[in-house]
Every structure is written in structure tokens, then in C-alpha cells.
């Protein structure tokens, strides 16, 4: 039977409501191990952010004793140059105050001249911190508004599907995402058994630029889909729209688009350079059989003359179709190991015969257990269609 339950929020370590004490207000009721895990994840993310421009191969050519100083110098300037010129001046003024506060000058045998500017330097550092926090809070508020607007572009509840259930989940790497998923009836005839349109897409890039292109892609898709054109014509027009907004191919979009007929369980699809979806079937012996839907065309936005071929796959009762973005298979743990396509396929192979929502929860929990508290660099999106 169809499922209309909203997808669960896969948040880890959700704290209880904070108490009235000072520690509870500061920590929001989190345990020490949760705070340490969060700090470790933030530190790793910051290390990767500030160290991405450092030539690590060149670093190996200098003596080992000089490497820490070179790394520290790089991180210091990487931090400084991300501030405004006025704040850089304040930072160096505060550092100069700390340096001047260190030495003591002796005049004669009974008089010591000591410049103590520690308190002033601390106030300057606090001022810099408040200015940077104000920028962050303002940007975060704007991004939260953008995220709310973006959430209107994707379904919050799965549509009713005769003889099947569907579920989806997305976890942005930032406040806004470049991943896109959708499941809708283009002609608004779901109750009369019309074809269900399925799509999952990933815009190259991160954060706001990718989110804006995702919104353009969503608007183009819904506009063309409601004109009742063939799937092949639809993808050709989507590609032309994408090429007009792809900055000469630098902002391309990988996507899988398909029309699912609930009456026949037939899926007609086009894979435009996207990760090959997984189909889990059961053979007559009850053993799991894995099938992939490989790409048949280049990503949207590369070439306006690109050709796309449709393909057809027949689903059967108890089959599961899993669509996902590369953020799933490229999710990594604290050791830098990727979740990998092979590990995803293995988990799909062991997927119990559950409806879509429980199947999705099963797969996402495997990803969560693998990555732990490690902060990810890409959006994670997954869509599951389960035939009954």
C-alpha cells in the first residue's frame, strides 16, 4: 500500500531541551562526548578549508623540521586574508599589543618599566570575534531563508502511487543544496492512474550558485513536463535550458529522469551522466539480484547538440529502485575512507523486504554509521521506489 508518511529527519545527537543552569545554556544539554565529536568534526572541516590551497607535495621537499612552521604560516595567512582590510589591521594591532606586553624594562635597581596591554588586546580580539560572528549570523539568516525557499521546490510528502511506495531524503552539505529530487504527476492525474515522473539531479558545485541553478532546473522541468511531451523531447529541451545557464559547461547537471507507469510497473528513463541507479530484485530462489541503470548521455549543460536515448526497464512486485547522488557513495569517515558504490550495492543487496520509507531509513542509517560525526563536503540525497 502507498505510504504518505513524511520522511524522517536523520539528525544525529539531537540534544534534549537545555536546562536553566549556565552549563546547560552553553552546551545546549549536550554530553561531553557529543561536544568533543562536534569540535573534532569542525576542526577537521576547518583544517580542510584552510589547507586546500597548500601544496602538500611541495611541502614534502623541505626538511621535516621546517614543515610545521610552513604549515602554520600558511594557515595564519589563509585566516588573515579572509578578513576585511580594516579587521586585518585590528588583528595586527592586537598582536603587537601582546608582543609589547611580554618584555620588561629595568631602570636602575629598583624600578621596572612594564607595558601591560593584555586587557586591551583581549578587548580588540573580542571586538574582532563579535564582528566576524555578526557577519556569520547575518549570512546564516539569509541562507536559512534561501533554504526555506528551496524546500518549496521539492516535495515534502511522497505522492500516492498505486501498487508501490516512495520515499526520499536529502541532507545539504550547507544550508542550501545543489541536489534535486522530485516525484510528481505532470498532468495532475495521479488519482486516475497517470504516469509518475521521477527525477534526481546533481548540479556541479556547492552552496548558493548550485542552489540557484537547481531552482532553474526545477522550474524548467515542471514547465516542460506539463506540456505532455515525450521524455526524449523533454530531456532535449532541458539540456538546451541547462546549456544557457551553465557558464560554458562549467556548471553542468547530472540527472536521471524517468516516467513510471503504476499500471504496468514499467519505467522509461534517461540517465544524463548520473550515478547508475540500483534495482534490487528477487530471483525464484529468493536471492537478491542487482541491476544497474547506466548513463546513456552526457550531463546537461555540456553541449546543446548532445543526444539522449531513452531506455525501458520492467519492475516486478518486491523490486526496489534506488536513486542517489554522488554524495552518498563519496561520503567519507574520519579515516578519509569513502562509503563507495560497492558498499552501497552490498547494503542494497541485504535490504529487507520493507516498504520505501523503512528501506530508505535502513540505507541512510548505514551511511550514518559509516561516516560518524565527520562533516561532509557534498550533499547527500536518496530516493527509493518500492513495488508491492
Q: What is the DSSP string of 35-50?
A: HHHHHHHHHHHHHHHH
353 and 209 in one domain? Answer: yes
- Residue 338's SS3 state is strand
- Domain range for 143: 22-149
pLDDT classification of 105: cutoffs 50, 70, 90: low
What does the chain come to in residues?
A: 388
pLDDT classification of 249: cutoffs 50, 70, 90: low
Lowest mean pLDDT among 16-20, 110-114, 117-121, 223-227: 16-20
Bridge partners (DSSP) listed for residue 105: 113
CB 282 within 8 A of CB 266: no
197 and 323 in one domain? Answer: yes
Q: What is the mean pLDDT of the chain?
A: 84
Please report the pLDDT score of residue 16 as a whole number.
52
C-alpha 109/C-alpha 112 separation (Å) is: 8
Per the structure block, which three cell numbers stand in for 16?
534534549
C-alpha 356/C-alpha 168 separation (Å) is: 9
What CATH number should be reported for the domain holding residue 249? 3.60.40.10
370 within some domain: yes
Bridge partners (DSSP) listed for residue 313: 267
Residue whose C-alpha is closest to residue 12's, from 371, 268, 384 = 371
Please report the pLDDT score of residue 137 as a whole number.
80
Query: In the predicted model, is pLDDT for residue 66 greater than 90?
Result: no
| Strands of the sheet with 179-184, listed across from one edge | 179-184, 196-203, 253-261, 266-272, 311-314
27 and 174 in one domain? Answer: no
92 and 167 in one domain? Answer: no
185 and 107 in one domain? Answer: no
Residue whose C-alpha is closest to residue 178's, from 151, 211, 152, 148 = 211
112 and 177 in one domain? Answer: no
Per the structure block, which three cell numbers stand in for 276?
547508475
Please report the pLDDT score of residue 12 as a whole number.
45
238 and 144 in one domain? Answer: no
Lowest mean pLDDT among 40-49, 100-109, 281-290: 100-109
pLDDT classification of 27: cutoffs 50, 70, 90: confident
Strands (E), the chain: 104-107, 111-114, 164-171, 179-184, 196-203, 253-261, 266-272, 278-282, 288-292, 311-314, 320-324, 380-387
82 vs 339, which has greater pLDDT? Answer: 339
198 and 124 in one domain? Answer: no
101 and 167 in one domain? Answer: no
pTM, full prediction: 0.72
- In tens, the pLDDT along 221-241 reads 999 998 888 999 999 999 998
203 and 58 in one domain? Answer: no
17 within some domain: no
Query: In the predicted model, is pLDDT for residue 111 greater than 80?
Result: no
Please report the pLDDT score of residue 193 as a whole number.
54
367 and 260 in one domain? Answer: yes
Please report the pLDDT score of residue 3 as a whole number.
40
73 within some domain: yes
Query: In the predicted model, is pLDDT for residue 13 greater than 50?
Result: no
pLDDT classification of 20: cutoffs 50, 70, 90: low
Query: In the predicted model, is pLDDT for residue 145 greater than 80?
Result: no
124 and 172 in one domain? Answer: no
- In tens, the pLDDT along 333-387 reads 988 899 999 999 999 999 998 999 999 999 999 999 999 888 888 889 999 999 9
Please report the pLDDT score of residue 118 as a whole number.
83
Amino acid at each position: 500500500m502507498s505510504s504518505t508518511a513524511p520522511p524522517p529527519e536523520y539528525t544525529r545527537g539531537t540534544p534534549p531541551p537545555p536546562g536553566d543552569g549556565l552549563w546547560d545554556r552553553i552546551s545546549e544539554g549536550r554530553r561531553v562526548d557529543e561536544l568533543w565529536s562536534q569540535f573534532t568534526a569542525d576542526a577537521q572541516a576547518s583544517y580542510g578549508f584552510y589547507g586546500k590551497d597548500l601544496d602538500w607535495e611541495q611541502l614534502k621537499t623541505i626538511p621535516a623540521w621546517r614543515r610545521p612552521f610552513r604549515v602554520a604560516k600558511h594557515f595564519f595567512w589563509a585566516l588573515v586574508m579572509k578578513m576585511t582590510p580594516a579587521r586585518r589591521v585590528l588583528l595586527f594591532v592586537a598582536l603587537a599589543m601582546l608582543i609589547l606586553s611580554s618584555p620588561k624594562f629595568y631602570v636602575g635597581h629598583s624600578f621596572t618599566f612594564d607595558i601591560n596591554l593584555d586587557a586591551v588586546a583581549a578587548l580588540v580580539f573580542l571586538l574582532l570575534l563579535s564582528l566576524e560572528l555578526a557577519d556569520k549570523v547575518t549570512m546564516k539568516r539569509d541562507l536559512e531563508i534561501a533554504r526555506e525557499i528551496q524546500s518549496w521546490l521539492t516535495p515534502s510528502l511522497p505522492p500516492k502511487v498505486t501498487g508501490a511506495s516512495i520515499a526520499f531524503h536529502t541532507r545539504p552539505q550547507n544550508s542550501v543544496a545543489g541536489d534535486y529530487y522530485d516525484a510528481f504527476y505532470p498532468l495532475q492525474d495521479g488519482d486516475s492512474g497517470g504516469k509518475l515522473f521521477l527525477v534526481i539531479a546533481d548540479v556541479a558545485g556547492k552552496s548558493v550558485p548550485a542552489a540557484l541553478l537547481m531552482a532553474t532546473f526545477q522550474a524548467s522541468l515542471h514547465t516542460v513536463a506539463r506540456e505532455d511531451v515525450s521524455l526524449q523531447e523533454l530531456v532535449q529541451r532541458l539540456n538546451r535550458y541547462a546549456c544557457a545557464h551553465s557558464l560554458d559547461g562549467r556548471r553542468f547537471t547530472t540527472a536521471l529522469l524517468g516516467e513510471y507507469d503504476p499500471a504496468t510497473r514499467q519505467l522509461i528513463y534517461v540517465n544524463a551522466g548520473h550515478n547508475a541507479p540500483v534495482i534490487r530484485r528477487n530471483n525464484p530462489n529468493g536471492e537478491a539480484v542487482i541491476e544497474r541503470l547506466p548513463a546513456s548521455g552526457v550531463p546537461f549543460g555540456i553541449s546543446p547538440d548532445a543526444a539522449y536515448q531513452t531506455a525501458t526497464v520492467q519492475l516486478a512486485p518486491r523490486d526496489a529502485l534506488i536513486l542517489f547522488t554522488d554524495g552518498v557513495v563519496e561520503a567519507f569517515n574520519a579515516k578519509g575512507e569513502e562509503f563507495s558504490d560497492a558498499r552501497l550495492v552490498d547494503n542494497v543487496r541485504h535490504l529487507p523486504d520493507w516498504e520505501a520509507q523503512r528501506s530508505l531509513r535502513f540505507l541512510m542509517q548505514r551511511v550514518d554509521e559509516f561516516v560518524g560525526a565527520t562533516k561532509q563536503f557534498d550533499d547527500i540525497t536518496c530516493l527509493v521506489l518500492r513495488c508491492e
